[in-house]
Structure 1
Amino acid sequence: PAGRVSLRCRSTRVSLEDVNRPVIDRIIRVDHAGEYGANRIYAGQMAVLGRSSVGPVIQQMWNQEKDHLKKFNELMVAYRVRPTVLLPFWNVAGFVLGAGSALLGKKGAMACTVAVEESISDHYNSQIRTLMEEDPEKYKELLQVIKQFRDDEREHHDIGLEHDAEAAPAYSVLKTAIQLGCKAAIFLSERI
């Protein structure tokens, strides 16, 4: 029909009119914001620890986050989702969190990684459940993307643990504080 926009998703044809706009808008907006924030966190960590022995490990995780952000940039255009208005804040907050945790040393940076990646992995799982309840066939491509990125975030979480995150000063306090910040960022970025 005239005026109907469709999106070509690999082998599936999805009409933008057929998607649950509020759900898709929130998912793509918050995931874009999260990947943007993750990029800024790793940029902050690299600014402090880039030339240290853990620099290549951080760089490897950051490279994956760059790929994630690129994909969500594409999905925002394809699904016509506006970004959160909080991106300028996440730009600064993410960098400060990354650099600040890295100033505690390798263990502090890895504690930050564990806290953030655990939060994001849990959040992605929640989104996967939502999309599966909506229509797994209709959202097949988006589900594949989120599942892959969730697995990458779990891998980053495990890398953080392997690099002594739990030995960071006040690990449980630091982890809890960062995860509360992540929950607030998720809540706000879904809505604003």
Structure 2
Amino acid sequence: MSGESAWRPGDAHADAASMLRVDQAGEYGATRIYAGQLAVLGEGHPAARLISRMAAQEQRHLSHFDAMMVARGVRPTALQPFWHVAGHALGAATALIGPSAAMACTAAIEDEIDAHYSEQLDALGEADPPLSAAIADFQADEREHRAAAVAAGAEDAFGYPLLYAAIRAGCRAAIELSKRI
């Protein structure tokens, strides 16, 4: 992540709204990535069971953040239509490369989201217990997804270091854009 945080002390409501907006966008993107992977691999593929389980957890996260946004009157990112297409395309593209590339995608994104959630938890402190609790809960799932992806062969993907770095960079860019737009 960049050295400058978008969340400034002193405006807890704006900070929480920005956090919620970007977190909802991220969970939405994750559901689209897994949908793209499953569309290519198919339900019968050995990796599909793991991907489906992770997708269900991401859907639970998304539903929770959707409800929090409605309750707090927070608008979603204006980029959601773009994330709809981009997420599915990223999932499909990595699955087309192969199951290990699909798992590399998960490992890269979950590493970035873990760091992002840690930054948010540090910034929130005690300012918003419901949001902090959701982030901490979902962060544990994201860490499990990363470990499962590595165990399923993420690091065996062709060009793993380059693929991993490119996906993490894209994830960082998506986070920064969704905070603001």
Q: Give 1:49's aligned residue.
A: 41
1:184 deviation in Å? 0.4
Match of 1:39 in 2: 31
Q: CA deviation at 1:89?
A: 0.3
Q: Equivalent residue for 1:119?
A: 112
**Partner Cα distance (2:128, 2:179) in 1:** 19
**Counterpart of 2:180?**
191
Once the two structures are superposed, residues 18-64 of structure 1 have per-residue CA deviations (whole angstroms, 9 ceiling, x without a partner) of x7221011100000000000000000011011320111010000000
Any residues of structure 2 matched to 1:39-78 within 5 Å, and which? 39-50=31-42, 51-78=44-71
Runs of 4+ in structure 1 displaced over 4 angstroms?
none
Give the alignment of 1:131-146 within 5 angstroms. 131-132=124-125, 136=126, 138-146=127-135
Instruction: Confirm or deny: 8 A CA contact 2:106 2:149 kept in the other structure.
Output: yes
Q: How many residues align?
A: 170
CA contact (8 A) 2:33 2:87 kept: yes
Secondary structure of 1:52's partner?
A: coil
Task: Show CA shifts across 1:149-189 (max 9, x none).
Answer: 00100000000000010000000000000011001000000
Quick one: distance in 1 between partners of 2:120 and 2:72?
16
Q: Which has the larger radius of gyration?
A: 1
Give the whole-Å Cα distance in 2 for the aligned partners of 1:143 and 1:69: 15
Whether the aligned pair in 1 keeps the contact of 2:16 and 2:128 (CA below 8 Å) is no
The match for 1:94 among 87, 90, 101 is: 87
Q: Are 2:14 and 1:22 aligned? A: yes
RMSD (Å) for aligned C-alpha atoms: 0.9
Rounded to whole Å, the distance in 1 between the matches of 2:142 and 2:75 is 24
Q: Gaps spanning 5+ residues in structure 2: where?
A: 1-10
Q: What does residue 169 of structure 1 align with?
A: 158
TM-score normalised according to structure 2 size:
0.92
What residue number does 1:153 align with? 142
Superposition deviation, residue 78 in structure 1: 1.3
The structure with the greater share of residues assigned to strand is: 1
